[in-house]
Structure 1
Amino acid sequence: MKPDLKLISMGEIRAEEVKWLWYPYLPRGKLTIVQGDPGEGKTTFVLAIIAALTRGEALPESEQALEPLNVIYQTAEDGLADTIKPRLDAAGADCSRVLVIDESQRELTLCDQRLEQAVQQTKAQLIVLDPIQAYLGDGVDMHRANEVRPVLKRVAAMAERTGCAVILIGHMNKAQGLKAGYRGLGSIDFRAAARSVLVVGRLKEDPTVRVVAQDKNSLAPEGKSIAFLLDGEHGFQWKGACDLSVDDVLSGGGRFQTKTTQMEEELERMLTETTPAEAVLSRARELGVSERTLMIAKKNLGVISEKRGGQWYWHLPEQGCKDVTA
């Protein structure tokens, strides 16, 4: 008996616009991979994204803030109480909007129906699974394309049906000198299934500086690389867009300068004494720095705003502000 043949005419397909949680890095209803060597800040970067989304704040290089949304976060490497919760708190996340599927009785996999059930129940718009290999399921060899492909196809279909973005966090292999596309741990099918691939690495000249570079984008032009600071003194700080490439990120080479770091330097120069906020805004416009970037620089330096009469003034925290009333 011949199998039933069903043909679909592209003339009957209605084109749809791609929707984004963070353009052009994180598409809705698609798979995104965030990968890098161990200890480079992949999870911290993703937790910073979660914090911004649960608070309804705009992410770097995006002026558009979304309404606060729910996120499902699954990790097989870190404890929820002693690691993930404190890091979410430090990032300023609304933890009431971060949900975890209970795996105490049965471990979760990428093919698990509970993923879609959880999205439907919570209306979550992002799922994070960290790391990829922990959620493939028993008997799936991540290096074999024929075993990986159906698993990824199933979770991609779930994302498509629900419109929920999915981030898979993965490690890099140890093969130095290869193109970025071949540094991801496991089968190349992981990269093929993802619509966006982001690579996280640190700079050799300043290991506290980490950079996220987009290595693949199937839905839009590749986005600018984004720098962030990660150290014991300052914690996590966004540093904005830079010109470093994926190869720079993987090699740890290159120097970076961003609008955020430029504005931080300018604020440190201007705010040696209390300065009218309008003067600072005017200077930012002269430098071509957006108000969003200015506010990130302000937050990073801990700049204090205080009101005197009917005018706002800014000063660095160590400067103080004489004769000012809140």
Structure 2
Amino acid sequence: MSTVALAVTDGMLPFELSLAHEVFGSPLAGVAGPGYRLLVCGPGAVRLGRFRLEPDHGLDHLPRADTVIVPGWVDVDVPPPAELVDAVRAAHAAGARVASLCTGAFVLAAAGLLDGRRATTHWAHTEVLAARHPRVTVDPDVLYVDQGTVLTSAGKAAALDLCLHLVRLDHGTSVANTVARRLVVPPHREGGQAQFVATPVPAPGQHPLGALLPWALARLDQPLTVTDLARQAGLSTRQLGRHFQAVTGTTPLRWLLIQRVRRAQELLESTERGVEAVAAAAGMGSATTLRRHFNRVVGVPPDAYRRTFRARPPAEPAGPADPAAARPRR
């Protein structure tokens, strides 16, 4: 069981703190035991807007955690408390994976954990973060950035994306998808997707892609092309590309590739099918093609991925996979 510590202090954003508590503090379906041991660590009673929170442990417990989550807070013009910065730095030095949600990136930056790394935060504060910490490469156009043992996210919904990404790294795609279904949110969005999208959630009948995306997900085993997608949506290929960029933050072909890799991940986790059969079911054509794309997107070969996440009894997947990158680490 992995220990996750939430680092809290006065003035933190209750939404980001609450969603992290919901993801890591609830039992994980398909995982033996609770999955995570959640600690709430702070310097004492803290104020979160109108709420008062009594942490379970002091900040000195952060170095004992496997993962430390730093939510954001309201006033980024106020330097983060030195005791929080020191505790987060000590946790990372002790081997913890440290992730910030929204403006929590300012704590990681103050601790020096973002020096020489890419990072992000809420779009409204990226310029401030970059000016205050010039050694940090601030990317204002992504939902989250995974730099191995240091991860940062944009605000609100993107913070949830990062939490689901962490679950996926630890427990695999099927478990992360189950968490997303419980929370009634999309399974996962790719970290490189833009923070701004014109139509984040297209609805059937209200957007040209509303019916197209489910149609394509149900046919991933078939040789779909951009022309096929455009014809189904009643659009030109150029119009299709514009709509895809606005809604998904990527191109139709890239979106299809990610969906096929995610389908392969679920099949590797939850069935006994050989790699050749998984490749066919995911629309990759051959095991060679699957291995090439899978290794590039996920970071490990299909066989290694299966060994990492094959602890559960085999069962056919309930539905299509989701568009997010994951790389097993634990």
Alignment TM-score, normalising by the size of structure 1: 0.38
Larger Rg: 1
Considering Cα pairs closer than 8 Å and 6+ residues apart, tell me whether 1 or 2 has the greater RCO.
1
Higher strand share: 1
Higher helix share: 2
Alignment TM-score, normalising by the size of structure 2: 0.37
